[in-house]
């Protein structure tokens, strides 16, 4: 039994790879190696470098600065004809890692960098080689790339950010980049609380002549936070701002209420503008909505102040005839009356012709009635008598109530139309 165990251990120790094998292989490979020579036998041929991008997480997306930062790794593959060996000569060693500073590597740089552009790779990076000359390198870093931001349908926007890598110092005849896959590798991706990755692609750029490879990210904003904390508060503010016309004028709170709502909407405009890039192309749809809300709120303040002036005018001052006519029209419409008959009646009351005489009569309540010679029906029995009695006694307060009624309807319609149009346009753009 001891002999069998000793024989097994002896065979195992002979087949294992020792440190001397690795040192010997590394020394032999780098003895006449020149990092300035492209690793291809025929120097008229180009080195084919395959590239793949791994996405770990989205670190930041700054719409104002137009910067897309993410944590990832850039995987590159190529074949080095100068680094090949027979594993049998080195204890069966089939692969080895070499610091990238000691071998030839494609100098990839982030050409779409939002900050200083520099080649990828740190001093601790290594290149893994196999006995057939295949080389693999992974450069992990925080990539900060520029991104053209389109916030037209903010906060329901989808952004496309292109991250480009280029080879420095070589022509398209000497080196050519190809993507390993048609999209970014998402196998190790961690979800972001603000953005969702809805698609990606990879391909070479024609402008780079095969020396530039582009990775495109399609990211969609998670709009729940903006909807709950910005859009819905603005909608409710605009709604309660319209309801200022239901507030009694005697309360003395109308002007302060409408002004406070106006300032609140202005604050939300500042919040939204701080999160958007300072550009006019394109202008976000929400900016148009907020501008309309601001103008509408300003008009509400103006109408409120003007209406308080009407409400507090002296009742001894005569109301203009055209205001009485407007009041009569609104009064008639609300009671389903015939506007033509009542308008004629108003004209009769304001300028009594000679064919009308007033003869006293007695009703059940003891009041006098007037009899028209052409129409002997008592005035109390005319279909629009109640409205006419009011039009003969129209005061400035009654005109103020009418302004409240009209303003409530008009501004409520503007609010609903503005909100509906914004939602429809945003959903279409998405």
pLDDT tens for each residue of 74-128: 999 999 988 999 999 998 899 999 988 888 888 888 888 877 766 666 666 789 9
User: Which tops the pLDDT comparison, 400 or 181?
Assistant: 181
CB-based burial label for 24 (10 Å; 0-12, 13-18, 19+)? middle
Q: What is the C-alpha to C-alpha distance for residues 395 and 389, in angstroms, rounded to an integer?
A: 12
Taking CA 158 as the corner, what is the angle to CA 144 and CA 221, rounded to the nearest 5 degrees?
A: 80
CB–CB of 196/220 below 8 Å? yes
The pLDDT mean for the chain works out to 77
pLDDT, tens only, 258-283: 888 888 888 888 887 777 766 666 77
Measured from the Cβ of residue 260, the count of other Cβ atoms closer than 10 Å reads 13
- Asked if residues 275 and 64 have their Cβ atoms less than 8 Å apart, the reply is yes
Quote the CA–CA distance of 162 and 202 in Å, as a whole number: 9
Which residue in 350, 352, 343 sits closest to 374, CA to CA?
A: 352
- The pLDDT score that the predictor gives to residue 332 is 54
Partners of 427 in the beta sheet? none
- Least confident among 303-317, 318-332, 396-410: 318-332
Q: Taking the model in full, what pTM does it have?
A: 0.68
d(CA 108, CA 338): 84
Percent of the chain with pLDDT over 70: 77
Q: What pLDDT, on the 0 to 100 scale, is given for residue 373?
A: 45
- In this prediction, residue 215 carries a pLDDT of 93
- Phi, psi angles (nearest 5°) of residue 47: -90, 125
- Percent of the chain exceeding pLDDT 90 equals 14
pLDDT surpasses 90 at 216 = yes
For the cut 80, the answer to whether the pLDDT of residue 58 exceeds it is yes
Residue 420's pLDDT band (cuts 50, 70, 90): confident
Q: What is the pLDDT of residue 76?
A: 92
Q: Is the pLDDT reported for residue 317 higher than 90?
A: no
Q: Which residues contact 170 (CB under 8 A, 6 or more apart)?
A: 106, 211
Are 98 and 126 a contacting pair, CB within 8 Å?
A: yes
Q: Which residue ranges make up each domain of the chain?
A: 25-222, 225-314+410-429, 321-394
Look at 397 and 142; give whichever has higher pLDDT.
Answer: 142
Distance CA 351, CA 30 (A): 117
Tell me the CB-side half-sphere exposure of residue 112, using CA atoms within 13 A: 22
Identify the pLDDT of residue 2: 41
Q: Which fold has domain 25-222?
A: Acetylcholine Binding Protein; Chain: A, (2.70.170)
Res 208: pLDDT: 54
Residue 361 has pLDDT above 60, yes or no: no
pLDDT of 255 > 90? The answer is no
Supply the pLDDT for residue 350.
45
Q: What is the pLDDT of residue 128?
A: 92
Residue 426 clears pLDDT 70, i.e. is over it:
yes
pLDDT of amino acid 68: 92
How does residue 389 score in pLDDT terms, banded at 50, 70 and 90? very low
User: Which class would CATH give 225-314+410-429?
Assistant: mainly alpha
Phi and psi (nearest 5°) for 50? -100, 140
Decide: 50 and 78 in contact? Cβ < 8 Å.
Answer: yes
pLDDT band at 429 (very low <50, low <70, confident <90, very high): low
How many alpha carbons lie under 13 Å from residue 380 in its C-beta half-sphere?
10
Flag whether pLDDT at 294 surpasses 70.
Answer: yes
Question: Is pLDDT of 160 > 50?
Answer: yes
Q: What is the average per-residue pLDDT within 374-389?
A: 44
Question: What's the number of CA atoms in the CB half-sphere (13 Å) around residue 293?
Answer: 30
Task: Tally Cβ neighbours within 10 Å of residue 423.
Answer: 13
d(CA 360, CA 362): 7
């Amino acid at each position: 039994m001891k002999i069998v165990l000793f024989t097994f251990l002896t065979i195992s120790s002979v087949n294992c790879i020792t440190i001397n094998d690795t040192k010997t292989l590394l020394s032999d490979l780098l003895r006449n190696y020149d990092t300035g020579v492209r690793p291809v036998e025929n120097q008229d041929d180009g080195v084919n470098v395959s590239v793949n991008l791994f996405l770990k997480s989205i670190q930041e997306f700054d719409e104002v600065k137009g910067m897309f930062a993410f944590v990832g790794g850039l995987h590159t593959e190529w074949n080095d004809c100068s680094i090949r060996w027979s594993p049998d000569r080195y204890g069966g060693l089939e692969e080895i890692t070499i610091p990238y500073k000691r071998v030839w590597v494609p100098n990839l740089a982030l050409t779409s960098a939002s900050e200083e552009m520099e080649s990828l790779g740190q001093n601790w990076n290594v290149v893994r080689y196999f006995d057939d000359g295949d080389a693999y390198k992974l450069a992990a870093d925080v990539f900060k790339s520029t991104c053209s931001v389109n916030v037209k349908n903010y906060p329901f926007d989808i952004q496309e950010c292109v991250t480009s890598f280029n080879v420095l110092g070589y022509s398209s005849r000497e080196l050519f980049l190809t993507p390993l896959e048609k999209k970014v590798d998402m196998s190790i991706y961690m979800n972001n609380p603000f953005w969702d990755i809805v698609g990606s692609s990879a391909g070479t750029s024609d402008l780079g002549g095969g020396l530039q490879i582009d990775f495109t990210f399609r990211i969609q904003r998670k709009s729940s936070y903006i909807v709950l904390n910005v859009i819905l508060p603005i909608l409710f503010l605009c709604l309660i701002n319209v309801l200022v016309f239901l507030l009694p004028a005697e309360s003395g709170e109308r002007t302060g209420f409408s002004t406070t709502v106006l300032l609140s909407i202005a604050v939300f405009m500042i919040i939204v503008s701080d999160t958007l890039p300072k550009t006019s192309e394109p202008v976000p749809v929400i900016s148009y909505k907020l501008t309309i809300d601001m103008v509408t709120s300003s008009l509400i303040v103006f109408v409120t102040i003007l209406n308080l002036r009407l409400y507090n005018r002296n009742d001894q001052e005569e109301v203009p005839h055209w205001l009485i006519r407007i009041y009569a029209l609104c009064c008639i419409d609300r009671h389903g009356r015939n506007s033509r008959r009542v308008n004629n009646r108003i004209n009769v009351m304001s300028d009594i012709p000679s064919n009308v005489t007033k003869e006293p009569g007695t009703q059940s309540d003891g009041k006098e009635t007037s009899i028209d010679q052409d129409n002997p029906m008592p005035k109390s029995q005319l279909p629009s008598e109640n409205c006419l009695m009011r039009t003969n006694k129209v005061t400035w307060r009654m005109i103020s109530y009418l302004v409240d009624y009209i303003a409530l309807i008009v501004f409520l319609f503007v609010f609903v139309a503005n909100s509906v149009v914004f939602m429809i346009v945003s959903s279409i753009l998405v």
